[in-house]
């Protein structure tokens, strides 16, 4: 049954809440997915959210919490006591999700919640996970997984697996460990079902298993899962002891957040912000690159001013300054965007200089084609003499080649220095190219035209 969530639906639901009509409200929410309920919550105030949450089953409430936007979730969490969080929300969540929720609380409230979690094993798992950086593999992993000992027989393994899988929603992989909990490999469910019940697992498991260490960056984990098309990857410590697993749904969040961050950096926004953030927060995020862009414009204006005498003689050169600057910026952004994308998904490897050389040749080809077009229009449309037209075309060709090389080299250079290469796209490339393109343009004009 599909329920259309529109303005009328929200109005009726709001009336139910105001009238405290619990039966009608729960009927309206009964067929909805937690993500849809979270979408409705975003249009209600905290009091109405609390009322609806009290009507839902605990497992649905926990799922709705996880689907909420971070700001909405924090506001709603403030309506709950530490005891309510510990008893009504945390038991219904996997450990990685529970850590995300608890991590949004103040340190004092975190301690209160953990102290009141009845399942002490879950509490200890949460404490262990809170020690890891949230952008590391350890910060992403969950403690719910199925592992078997290599010395167990098939019948014993099946018995233990049933116990471990009781509270898990999905079981993607079966991991084989030794007596010290060192990860040895994975076990095929098919082999488990088609082998004699007395067979020892050491004879069955596959020792070719991909894993990550707990301190590995989340972006690196995401690249690994994408590259090998994995649904789950185990996390180990320095001694290769199995600590937890990371599933693909957790990685999707990382990929989305990384894409948003890179997009904002490319647009000249220095920190991760949302449209509904305060004006002060948005100003702080945007102003630095705007100032840099303004500085670049002032530098370009100063360069043009330095050739003021020559421009009195060749006024036609001024008409092509926007063309030179915009083309340089576009070429630089194209080159850097391709490099940043390749670096992000791990497809760029090998010799840096080979990539720079390739971009040089590409810039030469594109520049030559554009220069021919500009030569035609500058001479026939604007009536410039051949020498001036040749100057404009040669400057355009040079600017395109240099912009392509700079746009390629800068992201690679920043990556080698441990700096996010996404900052090289957008305003950074545009500003630097504005300055260099104008300087190159007038320098070539001075050489050819002799002013």
Residues 283 and 359 placed together within one structural domain of the fold: yes
Q: How confident is the model at residue 341 (pLDDT cuts 50, 70, 90)?
A: confident
Instruction: Return the HEC string of 346-381.
Output: CCCCCCHHHHHHHHHHHHHHHHHHHHHHHHHHHHHC
Is residue 268 included in any domain, yes or no?
no
Is residue 160 included in any domain, yes or no?
yes
Choice between 416 and 442, residue whose per-residue pLDDT is larger: 442
Nearest Cα neighbor of 77 from 68, 86, 67, 85 is: 85
Choice between 235 and 225, residue whose per-residue pLDDT is larger: 235
**Domain of residue 325, residue span:** 279-449
Residues 180 and 49 placed together within one structural domain of the fold: no
Residues 42 and 105 placed together within one structural domain of the fold: yes
Is residue 261 included in any domain, yes or no?
no
**What is the pTM assigned to this prediction?**
0.67
Distance (Å, whole) CA 178 – CA 184? 7
Residue 349 has pLDDT above 70, yes or no: no
**CATH number of the domain to which 151 belongs:** 3.10.580.10
Is residue 254 included in any domain, yes or no?
no
Distance (Å, whole) CA 188 – CA 268? 49
Is residue 2 included in any domain, yes or no?
no
Distance (Å, whole) CA 198 – CA 397? 75
Q: How confident is the model at residue 79 (pLDDT cuts 50, 70, 90)?
A: confident
For the stretch 276-317, pLDDT in tens is: 666 776 677 667 767 777 777 788 778 777 777 666 777 778
Residues 128 and 160 placed together within one structural domain of the fold: no
Residues 300 and 197 placed together within one structural domain of the fold: no
C-alpha pair distances (Å), 138 with each of 168, 274, 428: 19, 27, 34
Domain boundary among 137, 155, 190: 137
Q: Are strands 232-236 and 212-213 parallel, antiparallel or unpaired?
A: parallel
**What is the structure's pLDDT at 73?**
86
Residues 297 and 436 placed together within one structural domain of the fold: yes
φ and ψ at residue 233, rounded to 5 degrees: -140, 135
Q: What angle do CA 439, 440, 443 make, to 5 degrees?
A: 85
- At residue 220, the 3 state secondary structure works out as helix
Residues 302 and 379 placed together within one structural domain of the fold: yes
Choice between 216 and 434, residue whose per-residue pLDDT is larger: 216
Residues 170 and 126 placed together within one structural domain of the fold: no
Distance (Å, whole) CA 184 – CA 205? 8
First to last CA, the chain: 78
Residue whose pair of structure tokens reads 């707990």 in the numeric block = 214
Burial of 293: CB neighbours in 10 Å, binned 0-12, 13-18, 19+: middle
**What is the structure's pLDDT at 274?**
61
Distance (Å, whole) CA 140 – CA 215? 10
Is residue 256 included in any domain, yes or no?
no
Residues 127 and 178 placed together within one structural domain of the fold: no
Q: Is 236 left (phi over 0), alpha (psi -120 to 50) or beta?
A: beta
φ and ψ at residue 423, rounded to 5 degrees: -70, -15
Residues 216 and 316 placed together within one structural domain of the fold: no
Distance (Å, whole) CA 49 – CA 69? 13
Residue whose pair of structure tokens reads 């989305």 in the numeric block = 256
Is residue 401 included in any domain, yes or no?
yes
- Number of folded domains in the chain? 3
Domain boundary among 137, 160, 184: 137
Q: What angle do CA 136, 142, 145 make, to 5 degrees?
A: 135
C-alpha pair distances (Å), 390 with each of 103, 143, 243, 307: 63, 68, 67, 19
**CATH number of the domain to which 121 belongs:** 1.25.60.10
pLDDT, mean of residues 355-364: 87
Which DSSP category does 201 fall into?
G
Choice between 18 and 286, residue whose per-residue pLDDT is larger: 18
Distance (Å, whole) CA 420 – CA 436? 23
Residues 115 and 218 placed together within one structural domain of the fold: no
Residues 130 and 152 placed together within one structural domain of the fold: no
Which DSSP category does 244 fall into?
E
Residue whose pair of structure tokens reads 């996390």 in the numeric block = 235
Distance (Å, whole) CA 425 – CA 415? 13
Nearest Cα neighbor of 334 from 223, 430, 258 is: 430
Sign, Cα dihedral of 250, 252, 255, 256? negative
Domain boundary among 84, 118, 137: 137
Distance (Å, whole) CA 332 – CA 342? 16
Is residue 345 included in any domain, yes or no?
yes
């Amino acid at each position: 049954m599909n329920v259309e969530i529109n303005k009328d639906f929200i109005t009726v639901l709001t009336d139910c809440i105001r009238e405290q009509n619990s039966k009608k409200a729960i009927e309206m929410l009964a067929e909805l997915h937690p993500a849809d309920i979270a979408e409705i919550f975003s249009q209600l105030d905290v009091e109405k959210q609390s009322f609806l949450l009290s009507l839902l089953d605990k497992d649905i409430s926990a799922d709705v919490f996880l689907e909420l936007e971070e700001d909405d979730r924090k506001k709603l969490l403030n309506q709950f006591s530490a005891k309510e969080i510990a008893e009504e929300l945390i038991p219904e969540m996997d450990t990685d999700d529970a850590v995300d929720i608890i991590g949004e609380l103040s340190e004092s409230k975190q301690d209160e919640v953990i102290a009141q979690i009845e399942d002490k094993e879950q509490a200890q798992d949460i404490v262990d996970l809170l020690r890891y950086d949230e952008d590391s593999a350890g910060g992403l992993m969950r403690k719910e997984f199925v592992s078997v000992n290599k010395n167990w027989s098939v019948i014993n393994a099946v018995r233990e697996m049933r116990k471990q899988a009781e509270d898990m929603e999905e079981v993607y992989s079966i991991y084989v460990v030794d007596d010290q909990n060192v990860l040895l490999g994975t076990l095929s469910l098919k082999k488990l079902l088609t082998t004699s019940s007395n067979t020892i697992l050491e004879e069955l498991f596959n020792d070719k298993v991909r894993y990550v260490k707990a301190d590995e960056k989340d972006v690196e984990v995401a690249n690994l899962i994408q590259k090998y098309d994995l649904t789950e990857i185990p996390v180990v410590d320095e001694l290769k002891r199995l600590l937890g697993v990371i599933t693909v749904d957790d990685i999707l969040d990382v990929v989305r957040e990384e894409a948003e961050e890179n997009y904002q950096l490319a647009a000249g926004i220095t920190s991760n912000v949302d449209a509904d953030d305060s004006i002060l927060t948005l100003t702080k995020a945007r102003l630095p690159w705007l100032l840099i862009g303004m500085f670049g414009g002032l530098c370009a204006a100063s360069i043009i001013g330095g050739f003021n005498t020559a421009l009195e003689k060749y006024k036609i050169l001024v008409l092509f300054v926007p063309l030179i600057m915009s083309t340089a910026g576009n070429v630089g952004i194209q080159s850097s965007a391709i490099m940043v994308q390749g670096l992000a998904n791990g497809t760029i490897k090998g010799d840096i200089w080979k990539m720079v050389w390739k971009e040089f040749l590409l810039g030469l080809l594109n520049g030559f084609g554009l220069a021919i077009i500009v030569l035609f229009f500058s001479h026939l449309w604007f009536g410039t003499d051949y020498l001036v037209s040749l100057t404009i075309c040669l400057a355009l060709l040079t600017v395109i080649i240099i912009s392509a090389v700079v746009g390629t080299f800068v992201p690679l250079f920043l990556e080698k220095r441990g700096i996010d290469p996404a900052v090289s796209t957008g305003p950074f490339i545009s500003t630097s190219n504005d300055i260099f393109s104008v300087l190159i343009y007038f320098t070539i004009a001075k050489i050819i035209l002799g002013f």
